[in-house]
């Protein structure tokens, strides 16, 4: 592999051989980024520009880029393991499956492994159909659960329609977030397999659930015989200040999906953790669902280390510190630009910065990028910038970040004054 390929060549080859639309889209948005070396919560553009990573690929780099302890766990594991044979029980899978069951609500009993988040969501949906003998799913309008066969039909039609994958509208019901009445209407025919909800919908800009919303949804599920799937892909693994976002809302889901950060950003691995009822198919025919790379043994070794590093009082404390410190700093920036910077959505280090106009978050993203901060706008609400610091950020990192964020917002406000 040539690590020294020029930026120009990389763009050209990406347009020719990889993804022309995506490559050009970023260039049009003023983001001429090719990631080079990475370390902790920074990475370098291949031309050498240092960037603070406030995207972290949705929490994939919760513990930083190329975390040395995680790399060490992987290297050690390669002395013994490879991907393994997915058909057999394995020392690595048994340990990780047990650890995930221990760390999730007590009603969850089995861990089913996949290699990507969408695949883990598809697994959750399949298991729900098995357990309920019902076909329908309810998801949140503008929710996001990935792009595979079933998962894509749960989300916005931007992602399903081009591939003729909207699904039968009777089977994939989309209801507004924080709306219990519509949820009950959709559930009360008692023919829905499961409701699936991101605890705080990421791609929708992290709108927070109203205090009793998720608990009430779970109660409705119980009343009408449907299952509750918690998509904790972005809100799990301590990002909210607790191991799982749902812990804040008093919900014990029937299925919990974790992905992204479980990989330590080093080896793809994801998990669907299910109740006895939902896992029942494994008693009938354990070979009914199979994934060659799901639960790869090297990935299990990495994920064990990730869980060890994540589930600690020290990390929990640090998340609270970072969350409070940034909240204070961002609030004081907001007070300087109240007509533009109109809201801060936050639970722990899950954050959305809300600006006044459609596409404002794209402008802020571009100006932060120029300041050396990479944070991405919410694809399904372009007023909101996703702002996702890592679990281990230091005070110094936060100070540097706040200075740059203020400069980026100031610049955006100036530009807007020009164009209005
Ligand atoms: C909440 C949520 N669920 C599911 C997924 C799908 O995960 P993956 O991209 O690993 O397939 C994502 C990815 O961004 C996500 O944010």
Could you tell which of 62, 113, 117 is best to mutate to test the pocket of ligand 1, judged by most ligand atoms within 8 Å of the CB?
A: 117
Q: What is the average per-residue pLDDT within 30-52?
A: 95
Q: Is 67 within 8 Å of 38 (Cβ atoms)?
A: no
* Whole-number pLDDT of residue 417: 84
Q: Is the CB of 197 under 6 A from ligand 1?
A: no
Q: Over range 161-173, report the average pLDDT.
A: 95
Q: Please tell me if the CB atom of residue 322 comes closer than 6 angstroms to any atom of ligand 1.
A: no
CB-side exposure of 119: number of CA atoms within 13 Å? 18
* Nearest residue (CA) to ligand 1, atom 4: 145
- Mean pLDDT within 183-202: 97
| Average of per-residue pLDDT across 232-246 | 98
pLDDT of residue 176: 97
**Nearest CA, atom 10, ligand 1:** 117
> Ligand 1 center to residue 116 CA distance, Å?
8
The pLDDT of 251-262, averaged and rounded, is 98
Asked whether 315 lines ligand 1 (CB < 6 A), one says: no
User: Is the distance from CB of 341 to CB of 352 less than 8 angstroms?
Assistant: no
Cα of 145 from ligand 1 centre, angstroms: 5
pLDDT tens digits for range 17-39? 999 999 999 999 889 999 999 99
Q: Is the beta carbon of 234 within 6 A of some atom in ligand 1?
A: yes
Interatomic CA distance for residues 96 and 81, integer angstroms:
14
- What domains can be seen in the chain, in order of their start residue? 33-66+313-419 (3.90.1150.10), 68-310 (3.40.640.10)
Q: What is the DSSP string of 64-116?
A: -BT-HHHHHHHHHHHTT--S--TTS--HHHHHHHHHHHHHS-TTEEEEEEESS
337-379 pLDDT, tens digit each: 999 999 999 999 999 999 999 999 999 999 999 999 999 999 9
260 CA closest ligand 1 atom index:
10
117: Cβ below 6 Å to ligand 1? yes
* Sheet hosting strand 255-258, strand order edge to edge: 108-114, 270-275, 255-258, 227-231, 192-198, 136-140, 172-175
pLDDT-derived band at 419, boundaries 50, 70, 90: low
Mean pLDDT over 55-77 rounds to 98
CB 116 near ligand 1, within 6 Å:
yes
- The pLDDT > 90 percentage for the chain reads 97
* Closest ligand 1 atom to 147 CA: 11
Does residue 387 surpass a pLDDT of 90?
yes
- Distances from the Cα of 234 to the Cα of 171, 200, 246, 350, angstroms: 25, 8, 12, 8
SS3 of 133, please? coil
Atom of ligand 1 nearest to the CA of 146: 6
What mean pLDDT, rounded, does the chain reach? 97
Q: From the CB of 259, is ligand 1 less than 6 Å away?
A: yes
């Amino acid at each position: 592999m040539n690590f020294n390929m020029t930026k120009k060549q990389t763009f050209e080859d990406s347009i020719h051989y990889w993804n022309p639309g995506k490559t050009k889209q970023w260039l049009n948005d003023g983001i001429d980024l090719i990631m080079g070396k990475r370390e902790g919560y920074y990475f370098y553009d291949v031309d050498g520009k240092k960037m603070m990573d406030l995207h972290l690929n949705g929490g994939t780099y919760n513990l930083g880029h190329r975390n040395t302890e995680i790399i060490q766990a992987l290297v050690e594991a390669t002395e013994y393991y490879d991907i393994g044979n997915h058909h057999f029980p394995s020392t690595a899978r048994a340990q990780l499956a047990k650890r995930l069951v221990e760390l999730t609500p007590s009603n969850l009993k089995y861990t089913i492994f996949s290699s990507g988040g969408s695949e883990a969501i598809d697994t959750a949906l399949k298991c729900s159909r098995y357990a309920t003998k019902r076909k329908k799913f309810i998801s949140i309008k503008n929710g996001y659960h990935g792009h595979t066969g079933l998962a894509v039909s749960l989300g916005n039609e931007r992602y399903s329609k081009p591939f003729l994958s909207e699904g039968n509208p009777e089977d994939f019901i989309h209801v507004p977030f924080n709306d219990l009445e519509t949820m009950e209407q959709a559930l009360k025919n008692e023919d829905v397999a499961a409701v699936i909800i991101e605890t705080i919908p990421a791609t929708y800009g992290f709108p927070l659930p109203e205090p009793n919303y998720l608990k009430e949804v779970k109660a409705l599920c119980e009343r009408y015989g449907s299952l509750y799937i918690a998509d904790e892909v972005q809100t799990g693994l301590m990002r909210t200040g607790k191991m799982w976002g749902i812990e804040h809302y008093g919900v014990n889901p029937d299925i919990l999906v974790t992905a992204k950060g479980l990989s330590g950003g080093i080896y793809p691995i994801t998990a669907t953790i299910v109740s006895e009822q939902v896992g029942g198919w494994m008693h009938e025919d354990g070979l009914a669902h199979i994934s060659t790379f799901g639960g790869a043994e090297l990935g299990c070794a990495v994920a064990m280390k990730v869980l060890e590093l994540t589930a600690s009082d020290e990390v929990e404390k640090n998340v609270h510190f970072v969350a409070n410190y940034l909240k204070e700093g961002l609030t004081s920036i907001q007070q300087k630009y109240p007509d533009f910077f109109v809201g801060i959505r936050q639970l722990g280090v899950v954050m959305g910065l809300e600006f006044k106009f459609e596409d404002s978050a794209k402008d802020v993203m571009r100006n932060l990028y120029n300041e050396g901060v990479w944070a991405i706008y919410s694809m399904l609400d372009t007023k909101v910038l996703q702002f996702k610091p890592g679990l281990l950020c230091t005070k110094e990192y936060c100070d540097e970040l706040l200075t740059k964020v203020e400069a980026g917002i100031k610049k955006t406000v100036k530009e807007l004054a020009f164009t209005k």
